[in-house]
Amino acid sequence: MKIKTESSARKTQLLCGFIVEKYDKILGIGKIDSKTDLVISQAIKDNEGKLGRINVIPTPSKSTQRILLAGLGSKESITNDTIRFVSGKIAQKAKELKLKEFTIISPPNFVSDPVSSVTQIVEGCKMSLYKFDKFKSEKDQDSPDLTIVISKSKKILSAIKNAEITADGTIFTKSIANLPPNECTPSTLANFAKTISNSKMKCTIFSKSELKKRGFGGISAVGQGSKNEPKLIVLDYKNARNEKPIVLVGKAVTFDTGGISLKPGDKMDEMKFDKCGGCTVLGIMKAISELKLPINLVGIIPSVENMPGGESYRPGDIIKLYNGKTVEILNTDAEGRLILADALAYGEKHYSPKAIIDFATLTGACIVALGTNVAAIISNNENLTKKITNSSKRTTEEVWELPLNQDYMDMIKSDVADMKNVGIGRAAGTITAAAFLKNAVEKTPWAHVDIAGVAWTQTATKEKPYNPKGATGFGVRLILDYLQNL
């Protein structure tokens, strides 16, 4: 999709305007001709401005073949996500009509400020036109080009460029996360990291032998049961002098059988999405290098395949993590926290960061607690949590804070090692997993984001045009907003 701006509507196959409830006109579209105006007037009554409702009207005009009316709902209910949501529906309609291009008139200021409007239009359109068809014999048709009618300025043009990079980063994340396990091993993921490295962003890959030699006991143990060797992927982006970096860590289990503690067969195919945390970090790093943000940022992705086999780690094993702490293994399906703990400890020791944020499809308990539309955030730093939560409100990638006190830390104490890798029964499963991770971070401000419910579309996931079936890319827009608003 190519995107351009115009200060007034030009010749187009589809002219799209927004409607708000109780307003009897298309926002931004003036009179066209008497016959067309009558048809539009009736279409507005039919549409009523209801959120997401679409009406397409043929016109006799030589400059505009069709006019599309898109409802935004009531003025009071419009949020940061509304225009993104409705723009996605418009883009999908334009594609359904097999058009080569379409034009959207940006809504006036009383609906949304211009920078926010173009950001939401671009993100909504680009992400809604994404489809994972890599393994389809018949590929998806080319996406139509978009023209946005809005007063041009440096701010507007910059916002469009940023929105395109953000959307592309999210799509990059989705395209990798959607890959099946036979097409995406830890080595494959490492190769994706290499493709986005550049002069400002160095890529380092630790092999199986290096991981064992350097003391990455968690990654080594989880990965030893698979013929696909584990990897630790490190992307180091430097674009600011003498500034401590922010470290992002993403869990990337390219497929999770549960290991010896084998998962039930039902929906095990969805465990290809257990790599989504790592894919999120890849998408963020790609976008940051393209935005050329003047910061230092490190992305660390521990990647394994958790398989049962003759060399698999077992319930009852005791392993030593990178930070020297010992862990009693009670369930090999609680593997994500083991590889994350190694990566967190490595990130803190080698980079002395000013903050660490990790993303992981860590616990099914998170889905029980918060459902499939909100991620959990657990942190040791109130200020960091507040900043991420503010970004969550702007991007509509929702997070909800859960507590973490000493009582939860006590729940993972072991009689025979420093820790055990599961808590007490099913109680507070999301929090006890975070308590385990907290042992890997000594003093750095840290936030853990459990994306088990939001990383891919599930039965109860709210339908959004920009989140078609499959991986959602959750966290890319959230953290890019956080980093740009530091």
Residues acting as catalytic residues: 263, 337
Alpha-carbon torsion 160, 166, 170, 172, what sign?
positive
* Three-state SS sequence of 418-484: CEECCCCCCCCHHHHHHHHHHCCCCCCCEEEEECCCCCECCCCCCCCCCCCCCECCCCHHHHHHHHH
**How many C-beta atoms surround the C-beta of residue 400 within 10 A?**
14
Strand partners, 378: 448
The one-letter amino acid code at 237 reads Y
DSSP bridge partners of 68:
16, 56
Cα 121 from Cα 165, distance rounded (Å): 13
- Are 339 and 302 in contact by the 8 Å Cβ rule? The answer is yes
State both tokens at 36: 């067309």
Nearest C-alpha neighbor of 386 from the set 401, 375, 366: 401
The first and second tokens of residue 89, run together, are 């529906």
| AA letter at 198 | N
Q: Answer whether 365's CB lies under 8 Å from 426's CB.
A: yes
What are residue 204's DSSP bridge partners?
Answer: 234
In terms of C-beta distances under 8 Å and separation of at least 24 residues, what long-range contacts does 156-161 make, across chains too? 156/5, 156/114, 156/115, 156/118, 157/5, 159/115, 159/118, 159/119, 160/3, 160/5, 160/118, 160/119, 160/122
What b/e string do you get for 427-439 counting C-beta neighbours within 10 Å, with b at 16 or more? ebbbbbbbbbbbb
Task: Check if the beta carbon of residue 461 is closer than 8 Å to that of residue 372.
Answer: yes
